[in-house]
Chain A
Amino acid sequence: MPAFRYAFSASLPVLTGYLSLGIAYGIYARAEGVSVWLPTLMALVIYGGSLEFVTITMLLSPFAPVQAFAMALVIQARHLFYGISMLKKYKGAGWKKAFLIYWLSDETFAVAFSVHPPSPIDKYWVYFFISMLDYIYWASGATLGSIAGSILPAVPDGLSFIMTAMFLVIFLDQWLKEKKHYTALIGILCAVFCRFLFSSNTFMLPSMGLILVLLSAFRKPIEKEGGFAS
């Protein structure tokens, strides 16, 4: 099937990226002490790398459903932007659209947004296979990592730093792409400020609230100055 072959070659960069990050995530999850099947389950039902790392931390903290839902919403809010950008491309995809929406990850957006399959190839099948393959890569990586983390005799201390490193790298990439850093600084300063006022288990809800308040209050100047990463 030409659409599948086209999609597969377009998805190859994601294969290496998702497999390696998925493996890191699986090993990290096991080192933190969650059950061996949880990384796979979360890869399948959440399917969002950043959030899954954070969910591991949440699973090992006291039960806080409101905070969990709010954190998931703000971490995943960038998908709003992906959806808006893909509205036209996915229009007319029929039943495949449900899967295209469920599987709309960062990498899938980046690849699907930039491919232009030549005319005899059905573009909706290409989008579908790209999305499906990325999903499989991520779930496979998480599963492999979780198994590896179970077989390894002992994971050395300090592996948990990989989550800090991951968010720092994503943050740096954002920082380097944007012209103005208002929103980046709002995020850091609000979180640091609330960490001083609250305990480490309770400061995230106020942090997110404060970020939303400041982003709303300064919407006009921030939008006017622009400078968002694109």
Chain B
Amino acid sequence: MTFKQMLITILLCSGATVLTRLVPFAAFSTRKKLPSFLDYLGKALPSAVFGMLVVYCLKDVNFLSVSDTLPEIIAIAAVIGLHLWKRSMMLSMVGGTIVYMLLLHFAIF
């Protein structure tokens, strides 16, 4: 990506963000009520999107290769386990990442 393309990408992300923050306030003053479909999307999308983003993070993992897949699966299990245990976002994130780094570093697989 060129420098200009990077700036365009960042500005598009910024514009979309401002739009999602602004629309309820802008729509309310002119039309009194937000279209019920947008209201529904605001509630229905978060779970779907964060599920999609987990898959997005794993998009380049080669699931046919055991040495590529096992560190991801073990680290994911570590994150889930830590989070169910302590419910602390930073602990689950950092703990899981350290597990992942150790697995790569010692090339257990």
Contacts and interface: CB of A to CB of B under 8 A. Distances in A.
Interface string A187-230: 11011100100001001100110010001100100110000110
A162 B47 contact: no
Given A45-B14, A168-B54, A77 B21 contact: no
B24 A188 contact: no
Contacts, number: 259
A42 interface: yes
A188 B49 contact: no
B12 A69 contact: yes
B66 interface: no
Contact of A187 (B9, B19, B47): B47
- Classify the secondary structure of B's interface with A: helix
A76 B23 contact: no
Interface residues of B, number: 68
A81 interface: yes
Interface string B4-16: 0110111111111
13 contacts: A51-B13, A59-B10, A73-B16, A75-B53, A78-B20, A78-B42, A80-B39, A102-B18, A156-B105, A172-B84, A183-B44, A188-B54, A204-B52
Interface of A: 17, 20-21, 24, 38, 41-42, 45-48, 50-52, 54-55, 57-63, 65, 68-69, 72-84, 86-87, 90, 97, 101-102, 104, 156-159, 161-175, 178, 181, 183-188, 190-192, 195, 200, 203-204, 207-208, 211, 215-216, 219, 222-223, 228-229
